[in-house]
Structure 1
Amino acid sequence: MTESFRQPQGGGSLIVAWQARARSVLVVGGGPVAAGRVFNALEADARVTVVAPVLCAELEHRAAAEQIAWHARRFEDGDLDAADMVLSAIGDAQESRRIADLCRQRRVPVNVADINDLCDFWFMSTHRDHAVQIAVSTNSKAPRLANRIRRQIAAGLPRGIGPAVDQIGRLRKHIREADPAPESSKRRMTWLTQLCDHWPVDQLAALRSDNIDALLDAYVQSRSPQDVRIAPSPSLPPSPSSSAQSLPLQDPNQMAATSPQRRGRLVLVGAGVGDPELLTVRAHAALRSADIVLADKLIPEAVLAIVRCEIYTARKFPGAASEAQDDLNRRALDELARGRCVVRLKQGDPFVYGRGAEEILFFRGHGYEAEVVPGLTSAINGPGLCGIPVTHRGLADQVLILSGANRNGDLPAVPEFAETRTLVILMAVRRLGQVMELLLESRHPPDLPVAIVERAGCADQRTLRGSVSTIAGVVERAGHNAPGLVVAGYVVDVLSDAAIQDRYLDASSLGLHSAES
Structure 2
Amino acid sequence: MTTPFYPVMLDLRDRPCVVLGGGAEAEAKVRGLLAAGARVTLIAATASENLARWAAAGRIRWLRRAYRPGDLAGFVLAIAATGDPDLNRRIRREADRHRLWLNAVDDPPHCSFILPAVHRQGDLVVAIGTGGKSPALAARLRDWLAGRLGPEYAVWLQLLGEMRPLVTRRVPDPGRRKALWYRMVDSAGLDLVRRGDVEGARRLLQTLLDEEAGSPDPVVPARHPLGPPGNAPLSPVPGPSMGPPAGDPAGDPAGGAGSAGWGQAGSPGTVYLVGAGPGDPELLTLRAARILAAADCVLYDRLVAPAILARVRPGAECIPVGKAPRPAAADGAAGSAEDADRPARAAGPHPGAPEVDGGWSQEAILRLLVDRARRHRVVVRLKGGDPMVFGRGGEELAYLRRHGIPVEVVPGVTSAVAVPALVGIPLTYRGVASSFTVASGHCQGGTSQDWRRLAAADTLVVLMGVAQRQAIARSLIEAGRPPSEPCAFVERGTWPEERVVRTTLAEVAAGAVQVQAPAVWVIGPVAALADPPSPRPAGDSDPARTTADPAIMASPRR
Interval containing the TM-score (normalised by the shorter chain)? 0.3 to 0.5
- TM-score scaled by structure 1? 0.47
- TM-score scaled by structure 2? 0.44
Q: Which structure is richer in relative contact order (CA contacts within 8 A, separation 6 or more)? A: 2
